[in-house]
């Protein structure tokens, strides 16, 4: 991993079209400003990893459990 | 072939995901299949090019009415949205093995589909405080 030291107000460029600016440091929080191309997605790592894991689990559901959940939902709905 | 056995998918039923899904970036073409019958909110998002790959998804509005998905401008562009009526929202479903009563919905990573242009995108909701394990079935 490349490690650089920056002060608030200083920026970095990743290639030609990504600018990353350190806006402020307050205690343990760092505020970062990003200028990225419009079609580029930026994810918070913890959110990205959680969704990735949930996608994986949605893939692994067995057909039997899937039908059981659908039946269960129908049962609950019919009681309403 | 699909995870639910042999199913016929017409070309009009295929949704193109220009960025794939999170963690499945190389899978681009999916079809939505009903799991049981048309009344069920559960659907299978079946990869067209990989029969073994199908994600269980659901219509979140069958379970909660006030779910609000935010789309940024780049997402709107990717989805080619002209009208919000074109949009369908789905969320992924997790069912723990042999415990269908513990089914959860991931409200943080909705899958948004432009039903007219048949373009899909998974859009992480970073600012809203939505859970990744919302339990729609109590008991």
pTM, 2 dp: 0.84
- Select from A42, A56, A70 the residue whose CB has the most chain B CBs within 10 Å, as the one to mutate to test that interface: A70
Q: Please tell me the number of Cα atoms within 13 Å of B83 on its side-chain side.
A: 5
- pLDDT, tens digit, for every residue of B37-90? 667 888 889 999 888 889 999 999 988 888 999 998 889 999 999 888 899 999
Query: Does residue B125 contact residue B92 with C-beta atoms inside 8 Å?
Result: no
Rg (CA), chain A: 22
Strands B104-114 vs B87-94: parallel, antiparallel or unpaired: antiparallel
Token pair of A38 as six digits = 């419009």
- pLDDT, tens digit, for every residue of A14-58? 999 999 999 999 999 999 999 998 878 888 899 899 999 999 988
Put simply, the answer to whether A63 touches B3 (Cβ < 8 Å) is yes
Residue B139's pLDDT is 45
Q: Tell me: pLDDT of B114 over 50.
A: yes
Interface of B with A in 3-22 (CB under 8 A): 3-4, 19, 21-22
Interface predicted TM-score of the whole assembly (ipTM), two decimals: 0.81
CB of B90 less than 8 A from some CB of A: no
Token pair of A31 as six digits = 């505020």
pLDDT band at B119 (very low <50, low <70, confident <90, very high): very high
């Amino acid at each position: 991993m490349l490690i650089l030291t920056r002060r608030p107000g200083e920026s970095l460029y990743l290639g030609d079209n990504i600018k990353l600016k350190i806006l402020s440091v307050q205690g343990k929080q760092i505020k970062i400003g990003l200028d990225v191309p419009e079609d580029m997605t930026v994810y918070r790592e913890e959110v990205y990893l959680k969704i990735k894991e949930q996608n994986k689990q949605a893939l692994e559901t067995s057909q039997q459990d899937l039908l059981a959940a659908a039946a269960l939902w129908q049962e609950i709905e019919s009681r309403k | 072939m699909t995870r639910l056995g042999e199913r016929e998918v017409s070309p009009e039923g295929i949704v193109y995901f220009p960025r794939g899904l999170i963690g499945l970036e190389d899978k681009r073409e999916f079809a939505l299949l009903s799991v049981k019958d048309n009344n069920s909110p559960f659907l299978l998002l079946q990869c067209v090019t990989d029969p073994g790959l199908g994600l269980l998804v659901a219509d979140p509005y069958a379970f909660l009415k006030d779910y609000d998905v935010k789309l940024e401008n780049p997402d709107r562009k990717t989805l080619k949205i002209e009208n919000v009526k074109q949009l369908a929202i789905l969320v992924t479903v997790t069912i723990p093995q042999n415990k269908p009563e513990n089914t959860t919905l991931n409200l943080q990573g909705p899958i948004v589909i432009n039903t007219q242009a048949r373009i899909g995108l998974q859009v992480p909701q970073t600012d809203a405080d939505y859970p990744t394990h919302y339990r729609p079935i109590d008991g």
